[in-house]
Amino acid sequence: MDIIPITQKQDIYYSNGGFSGASDINNLGQVVGYISGNDGSFLWNNGNITNFPTGANAISDKGQIVSSPVPGVASAEVLWDNGVTIDLGTFGGSGGASDINNNGQIVGGACTVKGFRAYF
């Protein structure tokens, strides 16, 4: 794997009075991240910003985005796929989807009555 040195920083999102941070980047340079409070998350794509009501955790090279619930906004994990929202359910407790690969396989975890459980 080549390491590419950062030669120039780019401010990709600024939340009004709060903060934001990047969560993941795919091989196409698309970035997903979070916005402070219950403001959700964003997708940065070549300078264009798309906001999402849930917390974006990861993005595949196909542009599929997985998210975690945001209190008061969504109670389950969500897959954003080509503009379509797919409810992934709660996997038996509270938690979130943490990553997605280029085959569309999703991993994450949920806190259940039996303890914290990983899922695939």
Q: Is residue 95 part of a domain?
A: yes
Query: Which of 92, 59, 60 is closest to 76 using CA atoms?
Result: 92
Q: Is residue 11 part of a domain?
A: no
Q: How many structural domains are present in the chain? A: 1
CB 77 within 8 A of CB 97: yes
% residues pLDDT > 70 (the chain): 62
Q: Is residue 37 part of a domain?
A: yes
Domain of residue 90: give its range: 20-119
| pTM for the whole structure | 0.77
Q: Is residue 3 part of a domain?
A: no
The Cα 111–Cα 34 span in angstroms is: 22
Q: What is the pLDDT of residues 24-69, one digit of tens each?
A: 999 999 999 888 766 678 888 988 888 877 778 899 999 999 887 6
Q: Is residue 7 part of a domain?
A: no
Q: Is residue 49 part of a domain?
A: yes
Q: Is residue 1 part of a domain?
A: no
pLDDT band per the 50, 70, 90 thresholds, residue 72:
low
